[in-house]
Amino acid sequence: MSSKWGFSTRAVHAGHPEGMEGSTVIPVFQTAAFSFSSSEEAVKRFELGEGYVYSRYGNPTVRSVEEKVASLEGAEDAVLFGSGMSAILVSILSLMKSGDHLISEESIYGGTYTLFNEILPRYGIEVSFVDSLDKSQLEGALKPNTKVLFLESPANPLLKCLPLEKLARFAKGKGIISVVDSTFATPYFQNPLQWGCDLVVHSATKFLGGHGDLTAGVVAGPRSLLDPMRKLFHRHLGTVISPWEAFLLGRGICTLSLRMERSAHNAMLISQWLSLREEVSAVYYPGLKSFPQYEIARSQMRGFGGVLAFELKGGYRAAEKFQDSLKLISRVASLGDVQTLVTHPASSSHRMLSPEERKKRGISDGLVRLSVGIEDCQDLFSDIEQALGALS
């Protein structure tokens, strides 16, 4: 697939379905293992990696979707996983060992925070959390054993945007590998590798799949980093995705550009409208000129995404009442569906942080996150308005 083709063309056509010439869609190779025509062929597959052996080692359906994602990220290759968290875990394990040090942006998904704060230290990996917008904090966190800089942009749940080119240059200057979680942006709106970052990860469960019917993760980047990850850690930890879920993911990606355009359009209109509501004290969306990192987002993103957050003046009780009053919008601890979803971060995605940690990161009890879908925007306005009306 030529890199000169447009994004939507590559989203549909990239990823050749091996072994099914003439198939217009990626076939599902729903098999645990692959037979050998001879002992000689078995040797070639095991020793030379020519062909498929076992679906934990590789599968044609999975491989086709990996090629599709790699094309969209402008990467040499990509590796699919069973979840976004397994993609992050294996990325870190493949780059680090006991005694190494990781610097992480402090504004990250709660599950990633738990991995870094509670699990990695058990295995001798030290982690420091910093505000990546503060150069003094970055410089102060550096150690001789620092190996990885982990970033998330836009970040969950306040959409904090980081200057990827600047941070990638900082990491390279220190001999550190930079890893970016770009789930909220998707490859349609942002390509971290373009700005010099080493690896990009996605929870493909979200916008890439786009329909709330699968769990998946993906890492894209150079083969020099992905091949060891795939052949040792991914294969032997068994963090693989099933062929069926890979098929669903590939099908979802085909409409990614259409869905993201509509979600971002709706999110912008809702953000602007919420900014005028008296029940709301703050709105967080990268497309608003009032957003703290608006200029950063505008400089490195082609659009601002389908996720926004807003602060209700009434705190926890207001957030609870607002969610319970919604009729069209679903209360779900996820994002990226075709339907609009509402989440209360303090009691769901970031509940594992202490109240002090949440306060430090600006995640208050009155914060509500919306993952905006592709519905008619007027219907979303009506539902949100009646839920806000219930607060009075």
Residues involved in catalysis: 56, 109, 181, 206
* Burial class of residue 256 in the structure, from the number of CB atoms within 10 Å of its CB (0-12 exposed, 13-18 middle, 19+ buried): buried
Nearest-5° angle of CA 317, CA 360, CA 143? 155
Give dist(CA 178, CA 192) in Å, integer: 10
What HEC string does 239-287 produce?
A: CCCCHHHHHHHHHHHCCHHHHHHHHHHHHHHHHHHHCCCCCEEEEECCC
Q: How many CB atoms lie within 10 A of CB 306?
A: 31
Residue 218's closest CA among 91, 61, 92, 345? 91
Residue 275's closest CA among 264, 287, 263? 287
- Give the pair of three-digit tokens for residue 96: 């680090």
Q: Give the chain's length.
A: 392
